[in-house]
Amino acid sequence: MRLFILGLGYSARHFARQHGGSFSHIAGTVRDPAKRDDLAGIEVHGFSGGSPARETVERVRDADVLLVSIPPGTTGDPAIAAFGDVLAGGRRRIVYLSTIGVYGDHGGGWVDESTPPQSTLDRARMRVGAEQAWMDIGDAAILRLAGIYGPGRNALATLRAGTARRIIKPGQVFNRIHVDDIAGAIMAAIQHGSGGIWNVCDDEPAPPQDVIAYAAELMGVAPPPEEDFATAEMSAMARSFYSSSARVSNAKLKRELGVALVHPTYRHGLDALWHAGEAR
């Protein structure tokens, strides 16, 4: 199988490293190939919207599996705009990485794939539109990802860097997923062979301050002081993440795709990262 990755972001790169042996050839896009030296084994193409190079178009045309992690913009999905004619009527497998942010605020209540998206955020509404566009192109697998953490991107790392904060908003919970389990879910979706929507999150939605406190315990350091959300200094983007609180179910992911999580809670994930030498 030949794999093409539209948008070699954190999760997509990790998938390529974890499961690259399953493919005869891997290629993908980045905004500026000259600035990337961490993509050994991947044929890299430049793409930042607009008209792609002929060679890039041909690689997309020849791909058996297309993994898409480029976010949509205000005018729609840039990958569809660039490659739509090539993709129409193809028989390739398409996996699109979306976000659980589409569900919006449910006051900490449980949601699943049958819950209609209701986010008031523009970026989440654009995601819903992109999901539908990819499903219209082919029998796409839509993976709605929770908050992503993994090597170099976790509470241990932010504590070590001195940037971790314990923002307290009563009733707030976030959902998260280790990048290892994202890689497993992508592979399961490819092997499943038909389209659908699946939430990719772990078993335990939790308040964000609990994750920081557990990481500090592992490191043997004092956690940062608590800050009241109402008065904490935060960027508009950071504050917007607290506008939604929901517990997202992963039951369909396990039932239909047969995914067994390597890191079923944030404690499992942080334990593994700490024992692997993260933030030492």
Query: What fold is seen in the domain 2-149+177-203+247-263?
Result: Rossmann fold (3.40.50)
Give the separation between CA 196 and CA 51, rounded to whole angstroms: 29
Between CA 137 and CA 2 the distance in angstroms is: 19
Tokens of residue 220, six digits: 């043997």
Buried-state track 248-264, b at ≥16 Cβ within 10 A, e below 16: bbbebbeeebebebebe
At 34 the pLDDT is 84
Structure confidence at residue 88 (pLDDT): 82
pTM of structure = 0.97
Please write the tens of the pLDDT for every residue from 12-61. 999 999 999 999 999 999 999 887 878 889 999 999 989 999 999 999 99
Q: Which residues contact 109 (CB under 8 A, 6 or more apart)?
A: 246, 247
pLDDT, tens digit (0-9, with 9 covering 90-100), for 265-280: 999 999 999 999 999 8
pLDDT of residue 216: 98
**pLDDT below 50 — which residues of the chain?**
none
Per domain, the residue ranges of the chain are 2-149+177-203+247-263
